[in-house]
Amino acid sequence: MNYDTRLVPYDRESISEAAELLSRGELVAIPTETVYGLAADALNENAVKKIFLAKGRPQDNPLIVHISSMEMLPPLVREIPDTAKALAERFWGGPLTMIFPKSDKIPGVTSGGLGTVAVRMPSSEAAREIIGKCGFPLAAPSANLSGKPSPTTARHVFEDMNGRIPLIIDGGECAVGVESTVVCFKDGRIHILRPGGITAEMLSEFGKVEVDKAVTAQPEKDERVLSPGMKYKHYSPKADVYVVNAHGRAFEEYCRRSGYESLIALGAGAAEKDFFLDYGKTPEIQAQRLFALLRKADELGVETVLVEMPERSGMGLAVYNRLLRAAAFRVIEI
């Protein structure tokens, strides 16, 4: 790993170059509508191994396989449940990842040794054009160093991946800002392993929805979790993050009296003064801004980040889930 990393805008030329590098088993960081992905040929074992090296990612944490058309799905999986077909029709391309029993085409490194594979079709035009040009599916985790906040701009990717990969395609800021919703199908239910842009409320039109308990609770040490990614420390800036269960004035007063000296406070629709920053009034805006603000805490070099409790339904559940992990589950009750 000693590349002269280039950051280039998304256009005809860069797409061809990305596809060429990916065909040769190299890594390319690509934009998607959720967060930037660190892509490799999902069917090439050696290429996929480079992802784990570049990120410093634990080998047992499986990757999401990205496709650009429905015809790419059947060869990757052993079975497509009817509910999955309906969900694909309604929500693909978009921020929804579904878990299927995997076919032999998917190497063990891609699926983290599991018998299942996670597949998603992004809506991002750049992502789909690159996959289309490649003609093979791309394994792509978020393009951050393992444990760091996911990248929502090409500059974030460059901060983490400079020297580790040959190419970053700049497609602008990610529209959703948090990673895709991950679901599996269990006991006739749609089981949410990771909340995201496709919400429980949206999925409930298609069947009974269950939210995995690991979404909002800290897994016990050594507990088996359905989604291996849930057990790792995540999205963490160097600062200590705390979720504060208070709103508006009460949140502001708590932060002022907290006694922390080197801090920022992220308020929902807060006026930006003193150490307060606005992380957005609606869960959709909060999702867009959250990871960039966690990175900003590091740039500012503050020791503490206090965050106003988000809504815990709809898109708010995805924000809450990421915040809990960034905060190592520290919630301050007022």
Task: Find the binding residues for Mg ion in span 116-155 (CB under 5 A).
Answer: 142
**What is the strand order of the sheet 96-101 is part of?**
6-9, 167-170, 28-30, 37-41, 138-139, 64-66, 116-120, 96-101, 181-186, 189-194, 209-211
Out of 228, 254, 278, 298, the only residue in the binding site for ligand TXA (CB under 6 A) is 228
Q: Does 97 bind Mg ion (CB under 5 A)?
A: no
**Judging by beta carbons within 10 Å of its beta carbon (0-12, 13-18, 19+), is residue 266 exposed, middle or buried?**
buried
Q: Does 114 bind ligand TXA (CB under 6 A)?
A: yes
Find where tokens 């393009």 sit: 143
Question: Applying CB under 6 A, which part among 2-10, 176-184, 235-243, 271-279 lies near ligand TXA?
Answer: 176-184
14: partner contacted, choices ligand TXA, Mg ion, none (Cβ within 5-8 A by kind)? none
Q: Is 53 helix (H, G, I), strand (E, B) or coil?
A: helix
Out of 28, 35, 134, 317, the only residue in the binding site for ligand TXA (CB under 6 A) is 35
Q: Is 203 helix (H, G, I), strand (E, B) or coil?
A: helix
Task: Find the binding residues for ligand TXA in span 184-213 (CB under 6 A).
Answer: 193-194
Q: Do 3 and 164 form a contact (C-beta atoms < 8 A)? A: yes
CB of 246 to Mg ion, least distance (A): 29
Give the CB-side neighbour count of residue 105, counting CA atoms within 13 A.
Answer: 16
Which helix (H) or strand (E) covers residue 84, if one does? helix 82-91
Task: Find the binding residues for ligand TXA in span 56-75 (CB under 6 A).
Answer: 61-64
Residues that bind ligand TXA (CB under 6 A): 32, 34-35, 37, 61-64, 95, 97, 99, 111, 114, 116-118, 120, 140-142, 179-180, 182, 193-194, 226-229
Residues that bind Mg ion (CB under 5 A): 142
